[in-house]
Each structure stands twice: as C-alpha cells, then as structure tokens.
Structure 1
Amino acid sequence: MSFAPLQNDTFLRACLRQSTEYTPVWLMRQAGRYLPEYRETRAKAGSFMGLATNTDYATEVTLQPLERYALDAAILFSDILTVPDAMGLGLSFQIGEGPKFARTVRTEADVAALAVPDMEKLRYVFDAVTSIRKALNGRVPLIGFSGSPWTLACYMVEGGGSDDYRAVKSLMYSRPDLMHQILAINADSVAEYLNAQIDAGAQAVMVFDSWGGVLADGKFQEFSLAYTKRVLAQLKREKDGVEIPRIVFTKGGGLWLDEMKDVDCNALGLDWTVNLTKARALVGDSKALQGNIDPNVLFAPPERIDAEVASVLESFGKPHQGEGTGPTHIFNLGHGISQFTPPEHVSALVDAVHTHSRRIRTQK
C-alpha cells in the first residue's frame, strides 16, 4: 500500500528529538464536539459508535479540524474502548452518560473468559486508518492510539467511568493475581492493536494512560507502568524503513517522571500540573516532551490565550537546533479539549504556538 509523500514532518521530527523550524502542535480530542461540523456528522451517523465504525464518517471527522486549523498532525478518530468492546464486553455510549459496558470483569470466571481479541473485529479501525492516511494525501502525519492496559482495565472492571475507582481498586488490592491477569491480556491486546494500526498506515502511536494518576505510588509502577512497558516492548519500531514514534501520556503522572524517563518510547505527554522546565531537567535528553497547557485556557480571551501559550513555550525554553538530536517539544493540551470550547479560540492557540515558537528559536 503506497501513500503520498509527507509534506509536513515537523511533528515526527520533534518526536524523534530532531531540529524543527517551529514547535509542532496538535490537540487531544481535536476532532470532537466543540466543532459544529463534527456535531452535524455525528447526527448523520446516529451515534458515537455509528461514527467510529463507519470508515467514511471517521475519515471525515478526523480531517475536520485540519480544514480549520494549521495543525501539525492528525489523530485517528476512534475511542480507547474499542479493544474491550472487541473482547465481547458490549460497549455503548449513552447521551450525557459516557461509555458503558454491558458486562464487567470482576470474578475469576470473568477473567478466565478474557482473551486477546481477534483483530478482524477491529477491522473498522484499521480501514479508517488507511482511509484517513489516503485522504490526508501527505498533508500531515497520522497518529494511531490506544488506551493503556490499566486504563482499559478501569473501564472493564467498573463497567464505565468512575469517580472513586472503588471496584477496580478493590479487585487490585484483594485479588492482585486477577488484576495482573487482566492487565497481561490487555497489554498483549493493545500491542497487537497498535501494530495493526501501524500496518494500516499510522505514522506514530500513542498510549493514553488516562487513569494511571489515580494509583498510589508503588501501585502505579506495578499495575500501570509495568504493563505500558509490556506494550512498548512488542511494538513495531519502523514501517517501510521509516521510524514510528511512540508516545506515552499518563494523566497525573508527573510524580513519576524520574522513572518514566527510561521507558522505551520517544516522547512523554505531560498534563498541565507539570512544569516543563523541571520536566526537561528531569527527563534530560532521553525523550521529547508533549503538552501541556490547561485546556481551560481556551475559555479565556484570545490575547490571554496568546500570553499563556508564550508562557508554556518559554517554560520549555529553546528546543534543540541544528544537527543530531536533543531536547524537543510538541505543543498540546494537558488533557482533551472541552466540548464547550469556542472554535475560534483554537485558532488563536495554534497561531500563537507557531508564532512564539519561531520567535523563541531566534532569541540569543
């Protein structure tokens, strides 16, 4: 399968800690409910899963933010819960309630029934990856993604989102053996899933450990980080001779950056609680850093957005310039964009990133 040559590889170069003319920017959940065109397409699809499982619709909504904004990467339109859905847990999305599973995983029998799913059940995702990559026509790179083994387990045990993670933490503390079994199956499933996305055309892959930060110190390393490492160890490093960057984002993971700097990935995503100056000093030369403006900055007036963007870029400092590799930065939010965000404020953010990051590179 052949694709058009890449016209803008700024994001990929930054992931690989290579020099770029400006700091690349993309946004978590950049294709989503804050865009009126997305809401129109979702209405046509009839439901979230109707959108995600239809190749044409998934392609359309992935490209929508790129029509509006000068973003430096596209991210596959999908959901982190496609993998447990393919395991037969029965995923549905209720308006205003978020994702729900018809079946939970809480007992020995539930765990015994779990297995790495047949990837053909996720063919709609891989077809979407190929379709999006073709539709991009080399404009920017395409990012594939999955939830982390721990984050998937949270939803599988809880049966949906949770305020207190009581069910999953109860299982973890009372039956750690069962928890480890779930996580091992999840890790191997996620690795296979991401490799299939790479085969379909994804040019970078990201692991979202959205709920790693709810764990106690020590438990994070044992039940989250260890299984993210198990995923990374199995991922394809390149496709057709081109390196495929690997990004890991742990919301609430700033406490463990010292341990995460040695994880086998190219870039670490940071939430807004982390100071980039300190993170850069801690992580050193081993990783690109991605993030990390507070998504709620986007509710401020454009001139304040501009100032906050400049502050984030200056906290990272001047990225690596010239030959070889060194510290680099990919601008992003510290978590997903809010559905209530004014679309024109995103324009202010993207333009500010490109303008200020060029200015910072020319400073003495």
Structure 2
Amino acid sequence: MWIMRQAGRYLPQYHEVKAGKDFFETCRDAEIASEITIQPIDHFDGLIDAAIIFSDILVIPQAMGMEVEMIDKAGPHFVDPLRTPEDLKKLTQDVDVLKELDWAFKAITLTRKKLNGRVPLFGFCGAPWTLMAYMIEGGGSKMFRFAKEWIYKYPEASHELLQRITDVAVEFLAQQVVAGAQILQVFESWGGELGPAEFNEFALPYLRQIPAKLRPRLQELNITEDIPITVFAKGSWYALEDLAESGYNTVSLDWLHDPAQAVNIVNGRVNLQGNIDPGVMYGSHDVITKKVEKMIAGFGGGKQGYIINFGHGTSPFMDPENIRHFLKECHRIGSA
C-alpha cells in the first residue's frame, strides 16, 4: 500500500523543507528531495509500504532540451513549446541521460541509503503520449488543441517525437534502477484524452516498448534481479485488456474502473493497483471507511495480486489525518 503524490504539498513539513524554493530546484537538491520522499514514511509510520522519489514527470522534456518552469498555483509552463514539426529541431538529438539527469540518480541513491531497507523505493517517468502533450501544449490543458492538431495533422512527426521520448524514458528508467530504484511506475496521465483508436496508435505501442526494451537494457547494465514495473493510464478504462498484455507487472487503475470488473478482465495476468477516488479524503471518517470496505471487497479482499492506492494523486487541500484514517482502515480491513 502506498499513495500517488504521497510526498508533497498536503503535508505541512513539506512546506517547511521547501521554504519558498523553486520546485525544480527542490527536486535537484538530493538532500532535500530525499527528505521530502521519506516524510510520508515517517509521518504515517508503519502504514505505507513503499516510498516514491520526489521528482516530476517533466524532467524528460528538460533533458531533451526544453525549458520548463513550475509556476506557483498554476502548474508547469514550457517557455518555448513545440507547435510545428519544424520545432523538433529544437530538441537535443542524442540525449546524454546520465549527464542531464545526474541529479535525479543522486537523489535516488541517497534516498535508498537513508531508507536502509525500511521500505522499497519507486522510480518513475512520464509516458510518451503524456509528455508529448505537455511539450506541445506548453503546460496543462483542458482542450489539448495543439496536441490533437499534431496527431491528426502531423502523424508522422508525432510518431517521431513519441519514439524519441520513449528512447529517453527507457534509459532514464534503467539508470534509476542502477541508482537504487527497486520498483518503477510509468505515468500516462493524459491517456484519457485519447479515444480507443488513437490510444492504440499514439500511446499503446510506446507503452509496450518501455518494458520490452527496459528489461534487456537492465541486463546490459548488469542488473540481474527482476524489477517490477507498473503502468498507470488515467482515464483509459477501455485499454485495460491491452494494458494487461503489455509487459507490465501491475496495472494501476483510476476511479473510473469498477474493481470487480477489472479483476475479471485481467483474470490474474497482472497485479492491480488502486483505485479509490482521492476526493473521498474530503469526506468524513465514516465515509472513508465505507469506501475502503467497498474497494477492497471489489478487488477480492486484497489478499493477492493487489496494491492499495488512490486512483490518482493527493491534492494540497487534503487533511493528512483523513489520509491516516484511510491507511489505517486499509490495514484493518485488508488483514481481516
């Protein structure tokens, strides 16, 4: 059991450590990033079973040569987004992942040492379609006007960009394992912005490439243990059958899925993770308990092949004590 965005803005101690520093500056400081990563493990002592390194999915576009700012209360902003295929020339052709993301690997290594076996450590990356959408839109979006223009007007350039992102993502994940990450998750956060046919063309092939290329790359890097990989494609409920056959060990579900139906669809082929609506944390303790009971029952009682999680990440407005109640109830109900 762990929760997406468990390290960050909803915890008061996060703001004390960040102390007005720029978001990406915080990520690049190994000492601070490791402290923030471990904060929820300490705050909810004994209730969380994994740490996830404090970082961001947009570090891959940065490594590819794009300038990204994190604007307070507004989110990420790309200074010069890609708007036409001609803009692909702005990207670094051969990305030196070890050099460009050296700070990320240092943070993972330091955090792994600090954890000292207490819980395993997740590494992660953004998925190709999601990163492409950010790189083209220039930030978050409600309409995805420019990203949709690319896939429908410039499909060849779109596939070129997706492949370049995929190649960097594979190397980034591999080097995270070398640095000390023990589990990996791939975040297709904007998957639900694609219909089934478009998902099959512009998301799924690249999601499949990641585990297919990562495992032999890890062998080249003398990593002999099997590293579990999770995929999270938010909003892509229609793709569950395909995702269960895509080479991942676990498929993480958002709250659009009915757990019992998801269990039937995957039929034991992969583990499942999820999927309570994070908004439940705004409810009373009684409501949280009832939702936890229903969720765990839907996943078959949580005894095997299931990782408890939110259906997306925490928000800065959540009460940590409600999250504590959620975690305690998951332990109580899941072990009953």
Return the TM-score normalized by structure 1.
0.88
2:154 to 175, 178, 182: 175
Higher normalized contact order (CA 8 Å, seq sep 6+, divided by chain length): 1
1:303 shift after superposition:
2.1
1:302 shift after superposition:
1.5
1:48-63 matched pairs, under 5 angstroms? 48-63=23-38
Residue 19 of structure 2 corresponds to which residue in structure 1? 43
* Alpha-carbon distance between aligned partners in 2 of 1:287 and 1:159, rounded to the nearest angstrom: 35
Root-mean-square deviation (CA), in Å?
A: 1.3
1:314-329 matched pairs, under 5 angstroms? 314-319=297-302, 328-329=305-306
1:344-355 matched pairs, under 5 angstroms? 344-355=321-332
- Match of 2:158, SS? helix
1:191 pairs with 2:174: no
Task: Give the fraction of aligned pairs with identical amino acids, expressed as a percent.
Answer: 40
* Alpha-carbon distance between aligned partners in 2 of 1:273 and 1:108, rounded to the nearest angstrom: 34
Residue 251 of structure 1 corresponds to which residue in structure 2? 234
What letter matches 2:36 in structure 1?
V
Structure 1 pair 128–207 and aligned structure 2 pair: CA distance change class (3 A): same
Structure 1 pair 48–284 and aligned structure 2 pair: CA distance change class (3 A): same
What letter matches 1:340 in structure 2?
F
What letter matches 1:227 in structure 2?
Y
* Alpha-carbon distance between aligned partners in 2 of 1:210 and 1:116, rounded to the nearest angstrom: 26
Gaps of 5+ in 2: none
* Alpha-carbon distance between aligned partners in 1 of 2:292 and 2:192, rounded to the nearest angstrom: 25
* Alpha-carbon distance between aligned partners in 2 of 1:280 and 1:140, rounded to the nearest angstrom: 27
* Alpha-carbon distance between aligned partners in 2 of 1:113 and 1:34, rounded to the nearest angstrom: 36
Residue 209 of structure 2 corresponds to which residue in structure 1? 230
- Given that residues 302 and 334 in structure 2 are in contact (C-alpha distance below 8 angstroms), is that contact kept between their aligned partners in structure 1? no
1:275 pairs with 2:258: yes
What letter matches 1:307 in structure 2?
K
- Match of 1:161, SS? coil
- Match of 2:80, SS? coil
What letter matches 2:73 in structure 1?
G
- Given that residues 116 and 185 in structure 1 are in contact (C-alpha distance below 8 angstroms), is that contact kept between their aligned partners in structure 2? no
* Alpha-carbon distance between aligned partners in 2 of 1:108 and 1:256, rounded to the nearest angstrom: 28
* Alpha-carbon distance between aligned partners in 2 of 1:352 and 1:147, rounded to the nearest angstrom: 31
* Alpha-carbon distance between aligned partners in 1 of 2:152 and 2:280, rounded to the nearest angstrom: 38
Structure 1 pair 319–308 and aligned structure 2 pair: CA distance change class (3 A): closer
Residue 117 of structure 1 corresponds to which residue in structure 2? 95
* Alpha-carbon distance between aligned partners in 2 of 1:91 and 1:175, rounded to the nearest angstrom: 24
- Match of 2:294, SS? helix
1:319 shift after superposition:
4.7
1:116 shift after superposition:
4.6
* Alpha-carbon distance between aligned partners in 2 of 1:146 and 1:38, rounded to the nearest angstrom: 22
What letter matches 1:338 in structure 2?
S
- Match of 2:124, SS? strand
- Given that residues 85 and 154 in structure 2 are in contact (C-alpha distance below 8 angstroms), is that contact kept between their aligned partners in structure 1? no
Residue 14 of structure 1 corresponds to which residue in structure 2? none
1:291 shift after superposition:
0.2
- Match of 1:144, SS? strand
Residue 78 of structure 1 corresponds to which residue in structure 2? 55
Output one character per residue of 1:51-72: Cα deviation in whole Å (capped at 9) or x when no partner: 1010000000000001111200
- Given that residues 309 and 352 in structure 1 are in contact (C-alpha distance below 8 angstroms), is that contact kept between their aligned partners in structure 2? yes
1:33 pairs with 2:9: yes
Residue 40 of structure 2 corresponds to which residue in structure 1? 65
1:165 to 144, 152, 171: 144
Residue 126 of structure 1 corresponds to which residue in structure 2? 105
* Greater Cα offset, 238-247 or 249-258: 238-247
1:87 shift after superposition:
1.3
1:47 shift after superposition:
1.2
- Match of 2:273, SS? strand
1:307 shift after superposition:
1.6
Output one character per residue of 1:165-189: Cα deviation in whole Å (capped at 9) or x when no partner: 0000011100100100000000001
Residue 76 of structure 2 corresponds to which residue in structure 1? 99
- Match of 1:150, SS? helix
1:257 shift after superposition:
1.0
* Alpha-carbon distance between aligned partners in 2 of 1:180 and 1:32, rounded to the nearest angstrom: 34
1:261 pairs with 2:244: yes
* Alpha-carbon distance between aligned partners in 2 of 1:262 and 1:240, rounded to the nearest angstrom: 24
- Match of 1:286, SS? coil
What letter matches 2:19 in structure 1?
A
Residue 184 of structure 2 corresponds to which residue in structure 1? 205
* Greater Cα offset, 311-320 or 348-357: 311-320
- Match of 1:89, SS? coil
- Given that residues 111 and 181 in structure 1 are in contact (C-alpha distance below 8 angstroms), is that contact kept between their aligned partners in structure 2? no
Structure 1 pair 330–116 and aligned structure 2 pair: CA distance change class (3 A): farther
- Given that residues 296 and 302 in structure 2 are in contact (C-alpha distance below 8 angstroms), is that contact kept between their aligned partners in structure 1? no
Residue 284 of structure 1 corresponds to which residue in structure 2? 267
